[in-house]
Structure 1
Amino acid sequence: GGGYMERVPEGVRRVDGNDSAADESGGEEEPLAPHRVDDCREKFFCQKVLHQASAPPAQFGPDAINEEIWRSLELMADNFKSRNGDGQDRFRANRFRKASQTVKNLAAEVTRHNWREKLLSLRQKPPAGQGSVWDAIESWVLTGHWTRLEGQQDDPTLAAVNALMEVWGIGPTTARELVAAGAASVADLVGRESYQGVRLSEEVKKGVRYFSDMKLKIPRDEVGRIRDLVCGLAQQEFGPNVIVEAVGSYRRGKPQSHDVDLLITQREGSSPDSHGLVPKLLQRLRDSGIEVVDLKHPQSETVSGTEVYLGLLRPPPGVGDSSVMRRFDIRAYPIRNYPYALLHMTGSDQFNRSMRLFAKKKGIKLSDNGMRARISDDRRQQNEMPNMTEAKCERDIFDFLKLDYVVRGTRA
Structure 2
Amino acid sequence: MRKNEGTSKSKNPNLRTIEMLGKMAYYYDRIDDRWRTISYRKAITALKRQTDYIATREQAIGIPGIGERLASKVEEIACTNKLRRLESTVTDPNDRILLLFMGIYQVGLPTASRWIAQGHQSLEDLKAKADLTPNQKIGLDHYNDFLSRIPRSEVMAHAEIVRRACSNADAQIQLVVGGSYRRGSADCGDIDLIITKESASLEQIRTILVDTVIPQLFQDGFLQVGLATSRSRSTDRGSKWHGASALPGSQVWRRIDLLFVPWDEFGAALIYFTGNDIFNRSIRLLASRKKMRLNQHGLYGDIMRGEKRERITQGKLLEGRSEERIFDILGVPWRPPEHRIC
Q: TM-score, normalised by structure 2?
A: 0.83
Q: 1:279 to 1:176 in 2, by over 3 A?
A: same
Aligned residue for 2:2, secondary structure, equals: helix
CA contact (8 A) 1:168 1:204 kept: yes
Q: 1:355 to 1:269 in 2, by over 3 A?
A: closer
Q: Is there any run of 5+ residues in structure 2 with no aligned partner, and where?
A: none
Deviations 1:340-389 (A, max 9, x none): 00111111222112111211222222111112244579xxx97x935431
For 1:406, give the aligned amino acid. Answer: R
The residue number in structure 2 matching 1:9 is none
Deviations 1:2-60 (A, max 9, x none): xxxxxxxxxxxxxxxxxxxxxxxxxxxxxxxxxxxxxxxxxxxxx212xx521255754
1:258 to 184, 189, 192: 189
1:67 to 14, 19, 37: 19
- 1:178 paired with 2:115, answer yes
Q: 1:68 to 1:305 in 2, by over 3 A?
A: closer
Q: Is there any run of 5+ residues in structure 1 with no aligned partner, and where?
A: 1-46, 83-89, 125-130
For 2:266, give the aligned amino acid. Answer: Y
- 1:226 paired with 2:158, answer yes
Aligned residue for 2:265, secondary structure, equals: helix
The residue number in structure 2 matching 1:356 is 284
| Structure 2 counterparts to residues 145-294 of structure 1, below 5 A | 154-190=91-127, 192=128, 194-195=129-130, 199-237=131-169, 239-268=170-199, 272-280=203-211, 281-294=213-226
Shift of 1:99: 2.4
Q: 1:283 to 1:152 in 2, by over 3 A?
A: closer
Q: Following the alignment from structure 1 to structure 2, what is the Cα–Cα distance between the partners of residues 271 and 375?
A: 28
Q: Following the alignment from structure 1 to structure 2, what is the Cα–Cα distance between the partners of residues 63 and 264?
A: 38
- 1:371 paired with 2:299, answer yes
Q: Following the alignment from structure 1 to structure 2, what is the Cα–Cα distance between the partners of residues 311 and 246?
A: 16
Aligned residue for 2:239, secondary structure, equals: strand
1:108 to 36, 44, 50: 50
CA contact (8 A) 1:161 1:175 kept: yes
1:338 to 246, 262, 266: 266
Q: Following the alignment from structure 2 to structure 1, what is the Cα–Cα distance between the partners of residues 248 and 88?
A: 48
For 2:147, give the aligned amino acid. Answer: K
Q: Following the alignment from structure 1 to structure 2, what is the Cα–Cα distance between the partners of residues 62 and 116?
A: 13
Q: 1:146 to 1:216 in 2, by over 3 A?
A: closer
Shift of 1:188: 2.8
Structure 1 range deviating more: 172-181 or 147-156: 147-156
The residue number in structure 1 matching 2:325 is 396
Q: 1:119 to 1:264 in 2, by over 3 A?
A: farther
| Structure 2 counterparts to residues 311-322 of structure 1, below 5 A | 311-317=243-249, 322=250
Deviations 1:214-237 (A, max 9, x none): 122222122222212111111222
2:37 to 97, 110, 130: 97
Q: TM-score, normalised by structure 1?
A: 0.70
Q: Which has the higher contact order (CA 8 A, sep 6+)?
A: 1
Q: Following the alignment from structure 1 to structure 2, what is the Cα–Cα distance between the partners of residues 99 and 149?
A: 15
For 1:265, give the aligned amino acid. Answer: T
Q: Following the alignment from structure 1 to structure 2, what is the Cα–Cα distance between the partners of residues 390 and 100?
A: 33
Q: 1:302 to 1:284 in 2, by over 3 A?
A: farther
Shift of 1:408: 1.5
The residue number in structure 2 matching 1:406 is 335
Aligned residue for 2:199, secondary structure, equals: coil
Shift of 1:331: 0.7
1:122 to 55, 61, 65: 65
The number of residues matched between the two structures is 333
CA contact (8 A) 1:294 1:310 kept: yes
For 2:39, give the aligned amino acid. Answer: A
Q: Following the alignment from structure 2 to structure 1, what is the Cα–Cα distance between the partners of residues 111 and 15?
A: 42
Structure 1 range deviating more: 251-260 or 112-121: 112-121
CA contact (8 A) 1:64 1:111 kept: no
CA contact (8 A) 1:165 1:171 kept: yes
Aligned residue for 1:265, secondary structure, equals: strand
